[in-house]
């Protein structure tokens, strides 16, 4: 696992020392390297655990003219297909990794870029021309992403404790609220987007967050929603063997996609029914 964090400021330039302090708080998420991008109003940082293009894909990552800066946690399973299509449209890649694909996808498709991704991911992308920050999380929320915002801007990270390393983020429990306490006691956890800390939210799976310089209020919206079963034209009276084969083929394809790596792979079998 890698880790990302960042600050988007509505006023003063981002302090590098503060960003480095947040990044150091999640050193356990990425022993293979660290990176920082500072651009006055926005600072991005990350810790890297190398899986693909171990040597060449240190972050932050950029597009050709460095207008777009990216920090990324996760894996993009269809990056080779996407990369091929983008190269045919004239995009030039500097690395052999999967993360750079996101920067060029945004360059080509703008805010719709997350729709093209198959994988587990959370990323933050700064567009210096549009003065826009884009956060996005994968469709089922395998990779975490939390944020806090106030009149002074937006702070985000892969872990809540990284947010708490910023002095502006209050350490105030949300469980003082009877409704939040009832949710915790009823479910054993607090459903997203709420968290156990007041003012800290989780970006929902399949959602993106947009922060525009000059407008401190971030906007969140879904870029993908789980389709209705009817959309797959399933017939309850159909041949069960056909559906068994569909599931088998789906599992086979999913396994093959997840075996892309430049480091040794392993399989963990829990022994359960999951």
Starting at the edge strand that comes first in sequence, how are the strands of the sheet with 68-76 ordered? 61-62, 68-76, 119-127, 132-137, 207-212, 215-222
Kindly state the tokens that stand for 256.
């093959």
2 is catalytic: yes
Nearby residues of 76 by Cβ (< 8 Å), 6 or more positions away: 82, 98, 99, 101, 102, 117, 118, 119, 121
Kindly state the tokens that stand for 211.
């922060």
Which one from 1, 2, 108, 125 is the annotated catalytic residue? 2
Spacing of C-alpha 150 from chain mean position? 21
Cβ neighbours around 250 below 10 Å, total: 10
d(CA 217, CA 125): 17
Enter the DSSP assignment of 233: T
For 125, the 3-state DSSP assignment is strand
- Nearest by Cα to 128 from 182, 228, 29, 60: 60
Catalytic residues: 2
């Amino acid at each position: 696992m890698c880790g990302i964090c960042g600050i988007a400021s509505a006023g003063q330039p981002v302090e590098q020392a503060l960003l480095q302090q947040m990044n150091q708080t999640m050193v356990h998420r990425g022993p293979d390297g660290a990176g920082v991008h500072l651009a006055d109003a926005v600072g991005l940082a990350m810790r890297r655990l190398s899986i693909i293009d171990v040597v060449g894909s240190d972050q932050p990552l950029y597009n050709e003219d460095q207008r777009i800066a990216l920090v990324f946690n996760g894996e993009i399973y269809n990056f080779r297909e996407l990369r091929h299509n983008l190269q045919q449209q004239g995009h030039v890649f500097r690395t052999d990794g999967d993360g750079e694909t996101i920067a060029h996808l945004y360059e080509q498709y703008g805010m719709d870029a997350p729709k093209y991704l198959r994988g587990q991911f959370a990323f933050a992308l700064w567009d210096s021309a549009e003065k826009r920050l884009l956060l996005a999380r994968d469709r089922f929320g395998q990779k975490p992403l939390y944020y806090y915002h106030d009149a002074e801007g937006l702070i985000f990270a892969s872990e809540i404790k990284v947010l708490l390393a910023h002095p502006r983020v209050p350490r105030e429990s949300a469980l003082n609220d009877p409704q939040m306490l009832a949710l915790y006691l009823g479910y054993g956890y607090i459903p997203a987007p709420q968290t156990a800390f007041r003012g800290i939210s989780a970006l929902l799976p399949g959602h993106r967050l947009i922060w525009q310089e000059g407008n401190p209020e971030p906007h969140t919206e879904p870029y993908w929603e789980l389709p209705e079963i009817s959309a797959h034209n399933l017939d309850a009276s159909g041949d069960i063997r056909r559906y068994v084969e569909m599931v088998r083929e789906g599992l086979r394809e999913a396994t093959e996609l997840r075996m892309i790596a430049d480091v040794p792979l392993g399989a963990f079998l829990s022994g359960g029914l999951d």
